[in-house]
A and B are shown apart, each in its own frame.
Chain A
Amino acid sequence: MDLRFPKEEPTLAEVQALDAVLGESHVVEGWQRERGGAHLAADQRPHLLAALHALQDRVGWVSPGGLGELCRRLDVPPAEAYGVASFYAMFSMEERPARVVHVCADLACQVLGAGALLDAVQAECGNPSQTGVPGAWQPSPCLGLCERGPAILVTEAGDPAHEAVIAPAIATDVAIALRVGPKGLGAEAPVVAAVPQAATPQGAADLVLLKRVGVVDPSSLDDYRAHGGYEALRAAFAMGPTGVIREVTDSNLVGRGGAAFPAGRKWAAVAAQPVRTHYLVCNADESEPGTFKDRVIIEGDPFSLIEAMTICAFATGCEHGFVYLRGEYPRALEHLQHAIDAARDRGYLGTNVMGLGFAFDISIVRGAGAYICGEETAIFNSIEGYRGEPRSKPPFPVEVGLFGKPTVVNNVETLVNVLPIVLNGGPAYAAIGTTGSSGTKVFCVSGAVANAGVYELPFGATLRELIDLAGGVPNGRSLKAVLLGGAAGSFVRADEIDFPLTLEGARAHNTTLGSGVVMVLDDTVDLPTFLRRIAAFFRDESCGQCVPCRVGTVRQEEALIRITLGPRSAAQHEADLTILRDVGRAMRDASICGLGQTAWSAIESAIDRLGALR
């Protein structure tokens, strides 16, 4: 390609930042470009996201000079790189202070007082856009710290960059964070604090997937092995790829990311593809408001994910695995990167895993603030260095996935389920739970409960039992509703909570478990504000590719604002309700991906089940 680059020069810091991530050596010269052609450029492109992170982390924004230098090195057209960078919320395309405080304004934190926090921060620190040196603050979508909201994330560009979270936070914390940055903040709560069941021997005995969280040292491979680690991989090698797939199929394990697709079928389909290379993508981009289970698993037991991915790769013939980790998880990134390095050092990853001649390695791809990148095809585009827009299906990922090759995409929770399946056998796993939903499920309980956190239960417990296990609604208040499945899920009423939390139970009650979000709302909840936040979330997170979602999410929010805030006649009110239903139906029917298709679900259920907006 004969590319034209911006005339702005990069600063020394930007050059150094790119050196660190791309290596010093090469700018692709014109002749190389012509001779290496498309292949050379294709090899470079997947470095784009990491290179953008390097610029953002070092200087706090993506400048024209920095972007130009990046494009020269990676042989990427500047317009395309700009299109990619501007897609992600974490990259600033305008110069801003190095220190930024992100204040969660999303659903779970809203129940815990984020609205008041935002007001207080505004009063104390000024408007988000007006804050100058030394820091700026901005409202943020869900930070995945829902068990201890309201949460803030502090980022500071530099060498090295720093990140830290505070949760629960008060306005003074934001002011301090703006003044002193992440280095001056206190230590984060231990991971195990997010697993209330671990606090009692009775509760801890019930845990399968979370049993090592808080027990094992997440930085020690030896400690992991001392707690049963790598026994499953050894067993998997003994039973062979077909044996592993048979056990996974027999276990009736279905995907835990929300779509509930049978994992065994997906694995078998990829394993059967004659085309090479096969890829494994672990979807750890959990950005559904109210979801934080993957964070807890990765922070508390990172080696279990690595072992599970290795088993999956062995069974399906994958040569490389990617963990697409959401960008707002500093501790999870640190723990997982350390664990991958340790596993590689000790021969559990690399060209000869456990000395058995099997080659597999894992890289982390750090997301950059885009809910849509959790969609199973958008995640491919993001890893490949393109805008995180969903692809149309068919073809499905098992045939044409990452880099156009057969790909297994599984959620973190789905993958770690493979460890007990391989160790105990598929039928034993299938015996847990109900006939329609096998195994245990990790629920993210947040909002108005005494003990928010992740709870692991065999499928079959009722929603009421789960809420009771989490200590019920505190402070003598009463339950108003539960949002199941997050922003893309649906509400159930307080008198509807006696159904079992299984796939079939949820379906029979016309709701969804989604990714396991159980957000409890008490009678003090400001439902209109809550619904407006759901609408704003989808408007913010729509990728903009298809018309129903791009414009529909905007019209949905506008109608909701008119209904809830404006003085309206009965006729106007009815017309706006009709608009909501008409737009919602078109989004559900005609959007490209699940984001648009579910953007109206929660609001619809609030109208139909909770009687909201009457």
Chain B
Amino acid sequence: MTSIYETPVGLPRRAVSIQIDGEEVKVSEGATILDACKAHGTDVPTLCYGDTLDPVNACRVCVVEVEGNRVLVPSCSRKVEPGMVINTDNERTRHSRKLVLELLGSSVDLSAAPHVAGWNDQYQADPTRFGESKTVKQPVKVDNDLYVRDYSRCILCYKCVDACGEQWQNSFAISVAGRGFNAHISTEFDVGLPDSACVYCGNCVEVCPTGALMFKTEHDMRVADTWDESVQQQTTTICPYCGVGCSLTLHTQDNTIVKVTSPHESAVGSGNLCIKGRFGFQHVQTLKHN
């Protein structure tokens, strides 16, 4: 995009020499292995990584081998150190990635998660191999008009919790509750969102990687089988509500707004909006019908 999306130039950083898959690479000190891989053009899959959030390294699909380490390390959070020798694509890393995809795919509905089908092919992952097994399948939670929560699709990446909490919104409406396979995203005592601290900023929807959190409009259209991304248009504009000037990306299908996102590169809000920018688009369509 244009220059307003660029982050300011920081202090100069020392360059660190590392080795990625046998090739010498120089990256800035403080960069993560994932940053280094991206800069080097090495493809590493990620699921729980969020470009606007601190990495939680929970999904483990991005693991790489760092020589001298007993176990694999998460590339999204591990910072580079001088002389690191990194293998991103050997039998060992492929095995763990394949298993993570299989374990997740066998317990969670990943059909709305981008890239996963391709990775399953790439790593020859077969999520059906476990046969009849425990899943997180459950009814969709529809308790308001703005967004729905389909925790059958939830991989517990913690991104919604972090976006709702101290990293962005400071509403603290949700948290991870329970333990082990029963861990789940929840309000206190699982009360509905209208009874919780939720302010409907939708910043959790913005960061959800699997469609577990979804605009009610999108959910209804998917249920009615009218959702079709191939005919949708995306138009980035400025939110008209207040003087902050957040960037909005309007997703339109058949000339109707069906979803609103915000560019993560935007220096104004880093992808975050408030309820007005995120969900306050109905008046536009109402006008049209008048």
Question: Are A and B physically bound partners?
Answer: yes
A residues at B contact (CB < 8 Å): 1-4, 6-7, 64, 67-68, 77-83, 86-87, 89, 93, 370, 387, 392, 539-548, 550-555, 558-559, 562, 575, 579, 582-583, 585-586, 588-592, 597
**In whole angstroms, what is the CA distance A585 to B100 when docked?**
11
Name the residue of chain A whose CB is nearest to the CB of B178: A86
The B163-183 residues at the A interface (CB cut-off 8 A) are: 165, 170, 172-183
List the 8 closest pairs (A to B, CB-CB), nearest first. Answer: A544-B183, A77-B172, A83-B175, A586-B99, A78-B188, A551-B103, A82-B188, A4-B197
Residues in B neighbouring A80, C-beta threshold 8 A = 165, 172, 175
**In whole angstroms, what is the CA distance A202 to B189 when docked?**
58
In contact, A544 and B100 (Cβ under 8 angstroms): no
Interface segment, B127-135, B208-216, B266-274?
B127-135
**In whole angstroms, what is the CA distance A165 to B106 when docked?**
41
In contact, A583 and B180 (Cβ under 8 angstroms): no
In contact, A546 and B177 (Cβ under 8 angstroms): no
On whether A592 and B99 interact (CB within 8 A), knowing A543-B180, A554-B134, A554-B181, the answer reads: no
**Interface contacts beyond A392-B57, A555-B106, A589-B92: sample of 20 additional A-B pairs, CB < 8 Å, sorted by A:** A64-B189, A80-B175, A83-B176, A83-B186, A370-B179, A541-B179, A542-B179, A544-B183, A545-B183, A547-B59, A555-B103, A575-B129, A586-B96, A589-B71, A590-B60, A590-B71, A590-B96, A590-B99, A592-B58, A592-B60
**In whole angstroms, what is the CA distance A575 to B128 when docked?**
13
Name the residue of chain A whose CB is nearest to the CB of B99: A586
On whether A86 and B179 interact (CB within 8 A), knowing A79-B173, A547-B103, the answer reads: yes
Residues in A neighbouring B277, C-beta threshold 8 A = none
Name the residue of chain B whose CB is nearest to the CB of A63: B189
| Any A CB within 8 A of the CB of B252 | no
Residues in B neighbouring A550, C-beta threshold 8 A = 156, 180-181, 183
In contact, B196 and A79 (Cβ under 8 angstroms): yes
Beta-carbon contacts of B40-78 to A below 8 Å, as 1s and 0s? Answer: 000000000000000011111101000000011010011
| Any A CB within 8 A of the CB of B19 | no
The 8 Å CB contact of B60, one of A539, A548, A583, is: A548
In contact, B72 and A590 (Cβ under 8 angstroms): yes
22 A-B pairs (CB sep. < 8 Å): A3-B172, A77-B173, A82-B186, A83-B175, A83-B176, A86-B178, A87-B177, A89-B179, A392-B78, A539-B180, A542-B179, A542-B181, A543-B180, A547-B103, A553-B181, A554-B133, A554-B134, A555-B106, A585-B95, A586-B100, A589-B72, A592-B58
Name the residue of chain B whose CB is nearest to the CB of A79: B175
**In whole angstroms, what is the CA distance A583 to B95 when docked?**
9
In contact, A590 and B181 (Cβ under 8 angstroms): no
In contact, A6 and B197 (Cβ under 8 angstroms): no
**In whole angstroms, what is the CA distance A548 to B187 when docked?**
25
Residues in B neighbouring A592, C-beta threshold 8 A = 57-58, 60
Residues in A neighbouring B186, C-beta threshold 8 A = 79, 82-83, 86
| Any A CB within 8 A of the CB of B25 | no
Residue among A80, A82, A575, A590 with most chain B CB within 10 A: A590
